[in-house]
Structure 1
Amino acid sequence: MDFKTIWTDPEELDETYPAMIQGVDYNSGGSRILGVIYIAQGIGPHATVILLHGFPGYEQNFDLAHVLLRSGYNVLIFHYRGSWGSGGDYSIDHVLEDVESSIEFLKSDFAKKSYRIDDKNIILIGHSLGGFSALITAAGHDEIKSVGCIAGFNFGLYAENISKSKSLMDSAAKKWEKAVISLNGMTVQNFIDDIVKNKYRWNLLNISENLKNHSVLMIGGRKDVIAPLEEHYMPLVQSLKEQKVDLKEIILDGDHSFVSRRITLAKEVLKWLEEQKSN
């Protein structure tokens, strides 16, 4: 396939239905969610990617959103409750609820008409916490056929490991101190308590069976020290293979945010998306 949309502007422009970017807001659990939607040119309707950022969300993958926009996809990026201006309090449960609310928003008559959305072709792609959330959400939605997990963090398995001793719990709390500073209503202690309490429910190995009817993209980073391959990527890939999930697995020579491999990352994501069209 042609990957020129990664580095080249469109040669032809649709003046009637141009590409555009608009701010959006909608309700989730009684709180106002803020986001932005990238609308592909053309009358559509367009396949729409919900691009989920991580915890707390310093890397939000806007470069990837522009590549997908130029390639004909709509993209929604939003901020979970309690983060980056969205209302309410932050928690992983709220994150998962906010992903559900975003799907409902895209399926609304208003969104379909305003943003030229194909509500039968919604795709979930997430980074880190976003990858975790994308997989868990897709496992409960048979109609969402394609889900991508980029440097996904398996919070349940991580919680199982640190809960083995007090010293590991204390070390984990110290590690996450700075990550919660920008999150409303979140402390490092209630974060640790929450993931330990939900360690079975949030272990991605326990939901792999529910992804049998999905196409799954797994991308890991060889230099990732936040979600190391040995703990977060390889066990899940093995579990998905055992369940005979339609899986594409890719390991890039990058860190958790793929800072030095953004073009390669965009190429792999776009290649996978285009492969879905021929399936």
Structure 2
Amino acid sequence: MKSLLLTIALLAPASTSTAQTAPPQAVVADPAPDKDFPAYLQQTRYHTAGVDVPARWFTAAGKGPHPSVLLLHGFPGTELNLDLARSIQRAGWNVMAIHYRGVWGAPGQFSFGNTIEDARAALTWLRHPSNADKVDASRLVVLGHSMGGFDTVMLGDEPVAGFIVISAADLGGMAATLDTPTGMAEAIMALTDDARFTNAAPTALADEVLANAQAWDWRTNAAEMAGRPALIISSDDGNEPADQAVADAIEAAGGPKPARVRFPTDHSYNDQRIALQVAVVGWLQATFR
């Protein structure tokens, strides 16, 4: 019955989705400490393109290996979604929350394409034999918000267990608006503020989007996600059409049909943070037993 209620909640409109069932304990309560295998947080680094980039490694309590989530933040990373990381950790999952090259002082060069490579490198870190006692490599889930959602879709060809896409940014789709002087100027202006927290020039980022329109085709890459469960979460930020396109592409490629949740809030889910945790943790618990 609990699983059924959760399914109804996930598929219901956001205004009622979080009221249909009790929130997971991992969202609202701390678990009893495990003296032998305590939960912990540590700074770590993963190797990508010749440099070591910082990441946060949240290890779940209890003897491993544990299912694990790769958490991908957006551009440039103002919202890190670390409240999600903590709830997921309390639910018995490890979380690797990465930065990317060239952002917030990390070494290497930032670019949108490099974030895809960095995410793949983080998956390699998670799958490394040295982590086999901590990470259940058969239960890896990629979770991305905004640009991290773009990366999640671009990782559709990775052999992971599932995907969570939150307000994904269809960067390839931006190319259609960049192919005019006015469109390019507006895109550069929109990128300028956030690009200050990276070592990339806004003009270079806009040119990169234009050059990769075909490689980053939204539906083609989303179709690669088929065959695994997916949760797609949207808000009032204007990205819902891109999110819906991901769901449609997965279903057209054979499914399974992704779970959908929509919240009446902004891009950072500022007034729906608890509800967001309920949706994510509830889906993980119902999908991966």
- So what's the TM-score if we normalise by structure 2? 0.88
Q: How many Å separate the matches in 2 of 1:144 and 1:228?
A: 24
Root-mean-square deviation (CA), in Å?
Answer: 1.4
Structure 2 counterpart SS, 1:176? helix
Q: Which amino acid aligns with 1:241?
A: E
1:275 positional shift? 2.0
Task: Give 5+ residue unaligned stretches, structure 1.
Answer: none
Corresponding pairs, count: 267
Aligned to 1:272: 283
Aligned to 1:70: 90
Structure 2 counterpart SS, 1:121? strand
Q: How many Å separate the matches in 2 of 1:208 and 1:172?
A: 24
1:104 aligned to 2:124? yes
Aligned to 1:56: 76
Structure 2 counterpart SS, 1:214? coil
1:133 aligned to 2:151? yes
Q: How many Å separate the matches in 1 of 2:248 and 2:127?
A: 33
Q: How many Å separate the matches in 1 of 2:129 and 2:82?
A: 26
Structure 2 counterpart SS, 1:268? helix
Aligned to 2:234: 220
1:57 positional shift? 0.6
Aligned to 2:27: 6
1:164 positional shift? 4.2
Q: How many Å separate the matches in 2 of 1:94 and 1:169?
A: 21
1:93 positional shift? 1.7
Aligned to 2:198: 183
Aligned to 2:7: none
Superposition map of 1:1-279 within 5 A: 1=2, 3-10=24-31, 12-113=32-133, 116-137=134-155, 139-141=156-158, 143-160=159-176, 162-184=177-199, 186-221=200-235, 223-224=236-237, 227-230=238-241, 232-246=242-256, 247-278=258-289
Which one is further off, 196-205 or 67-76?
A: 196-205
Q: How many Å separate the matches in 1 of 2:283 and 2:97?
A: 20
1:96 positional shift? 0.8
1:43 positional shift? 0.5
1:192-226 deviation digits (Å, cap 9, x = unpaired): 000010011112212232122111111110x21xx
Task: Give 5+ residue unaligned stretches, structure 2.
Answer: 3-22
Q: How many Å separate the matches in 2 of 1:94 and 1:208?
A: 19
Q: Which amino acid aligns with 1:277?
A: F
Q: How many Å separate the matches in 2 of 1:107 and 1:58?
A: 28
Q: How many Å separate the matches in 1 of 2:245 and 2:64?
A: 39
1:261 positional shift? 0.3
Q: How many Å separate the matches in 2 of 1:26 and 1:146?
A: 22
Structure 2 counterpart SS, 1:218? strand
1:86 positional shift? 1.9
Q: How many Å separate the matches in 1 of 2:105 and 2:56?
A: 13
The answer to whether the 8 A contact 2:227-2:254 is kept is no
1:125 positional shift? 0.3
Q: Which amino acid aligns with 2:232?
A: M
Q: How many Å separate the matches in 2 of 1:276 and 1:237?
A: 17
Q: How many Å separate the matches in 1 of 2:178 and 2:254?
A: 31
Superposed structure 1 runs of 4+ greater than 4 Å apart: none
- Where relative contact order (Cα < 8 A, 6+ residues apart) is larger, the structure is 2
The answer to whether the 8 A contact 1:125-1:147 is kept is yes
1:163-207 deviation digits (Å, cap 9, x = unpaired): 3422111111111111110112x1010000000100111122122
1:222-275 deviation digits (Å, cap 9, x = unpaired): x21xx4323x22333333332232211111111111000001111111121112
The answer to whether the 8 A contact 1:68-1:270 is kept is yes
Which one is further off, 117-126 or 58-67?
A: 117-126
1:101-122 deviation digits (Å, cap 9, x = unpaired): 1111111122334xx1112211
- So what's the TM-score if we normalise by structure 1? 0.91
Structure 2 counterpart SS, 1:35? strand
